[in-house]
Structure 1
Amino acid sequence: MKRKPLLLFAFPFLILAILAGERMATFLLGTYPASPAVWWIWLELRPLSTMLWQQIDFNLGDSMAADAAVLAAVSILCWIACHTRRSAFFFLTNHVALILAGLMIAVGSHSETASTIATFTSPSGLPFSLAVDFALKSSLVLLLGVAACAYCHVAFLAEARARSEARTVRILALRRDL
């Protein structure tokens, strides 16, 4: 199985598209504040990315141009990582995108600790509870992320198997020649 860089880039692109869509909707709200369609898009995308953009804006000075530059730089790095031959950077890219999506969903769903939900006990014996809202959109994003990571694992193991087989054939040819 030959890995397909476009499939490897699909999930990180989805996460970056959600982040870019929210920034674009925020920008358009400043230009067209009476547009119901822009408000709807912004309200749908905002819960997934609000906390991330608040941290980036705090560190970069509330600049939409800096936000666009961050998105462009990360997109280019992900694209290059997914196209790099003989490297497992695509593995890292997809897994970081899945972790980021999980964090965005947990923060956006206002996950909280509460004593009325399911309780857990930490290894030190401290009891705590956690509530996370897995809405349909959040569940689909996480499912796509898990599928993307599974594809990474399959592609990585297929490449390793192909390298191993090629190495075995070369060793057998060298033994035969000697």
Structure 2
Amino acid sequence: MKRKPLLLFAFPFLVLAILAGERMATFLLGAYPASPTTWWIWLELRPLSTMLWQQVDVYLGGSMAVDAAILAAASIVCWVACHTRRSAFFFLANHVALILAGLMIAVGSHSETASTIAAFTSPSGLPYSLAVDFTLKNSLVLILGTMACAYCHIAFLTEARERSVRAIRILALQRDL
């Protein structure tokens, strides 16, 4: 199985596209507040990303230009990581994207430790609970992220197996010579 960089880049691109789409819809809402299409796009993307961007905007001063620069830089880094030969940076790109998607979902669904949905006990004996909203959209993003990470593992292990077989053949040829 040969590694396909475009498939490796698909999930990080999806996460970055969701973030960029929400930022663009927010910008367009400021310019065209009477547009129902813009409101619809913004309301669809908001639960996945707005809460995360609100946290980011606190630290960045609310600049859309800085948000766009961050998303562009992250896209370039992920693209290069997925196309780099002889490295496992595509692992990092996909896994960071999955962690970011999980964080966006947790923050966007107002996960709290005061809910009674799922109760846990810490090692010190202190009880706490956590609620996460697994809507169809959230579940789909997490399933796609898990599939992307599984593809990364399969691609990496296949390449490692091919390298080891090649190394054994080279050692056998050196021994025979």
| Partner residue in 2 for 1:88 | 88
| Partner residue in 1 for 2:119 | 119
Cα RMSD between the aligned structures?
Answer: 1.0
Q: Calculate the TM-score normalised by the size of structure 2.
A: 0.96
| Partner residue in 2 for 1:63 | 63
Q: Which runs of 4+ in 1 moved over 4 A?
A: none
CA-CA distance at 1:116 after TM superposition: 2.8
Cα pair 2:98 2:145 within 8 Å, conserved: yes
| Further displaced range: 49-58 or 78-87 | 49-58
Q: How does 1:151-166 map to 2 (within 5 A)?
A: 151-166=151-166
What is the aligned-residue identity percentage? 80
- Is 2:134 the partner of 1:139? no
| Partner residue in 2 for 1:33 | 33
Cα pair 2:88 2:156 within 8 Å, conserved: yes
SS of residue in 2 equivalent to 1:129: strand
| Partner residue in 1 for 2:19 | 19
CA offsets 1:50-102 (integer angstroms, 9 cap, x no match): 23212332222221111111111000000000000000000001000000000
Distance 1:103 1:35 in 2: 30
CA-CA distance at 1:115 after TM superposition: 5.2
CA-CA distance at 1:140 after TM superposition: 0.1
- Which 5+ residue runs of structure 1 have no aligned equivalent? none
Distance 2:77 2:115 in 1: 42
Distance 1:145 1:116 in 2: 27
Distance 1:37 1:153 in 2: 39
The aligned length equals: 177
Cα pair 2:52 2:108 within 8 Å, conserved: no
Q: Cα 1:118–1:58, aligned 2, differ >3 Å: closer, same or farther?
A: closer
Distance 1:115 1:31 in 2: 38
| Partner residue in 1 for 2:176 | 176
SS of residue in 2 equivalent to 1:149: helix
Distance 1:115 1:89 in 2: 38
Distance 1:154 1:142 in 2: 18
Distance 2:110 2:40 in 1: 20
SS of residue in 1 equivalent to 2:128: strand
Q: Cα 1:115–1:47, aligned 2, differ >3 Å: closer, same or farther?
A: closer
Distance 1:129 1:175 in 2: 62
- Which 5+ residue runs of structure 2 have no aligned equivalent? none
| Partner residue in 1 for 2:109 | 109
CA-CA distance at 1:110 after TM superposition: 1.2
| Partner residue in 2 for 1:6 | 6
Distance 2:61 2:114 in 1: 34
CA-CA distance at 1:128 after TM superposition: 1.0
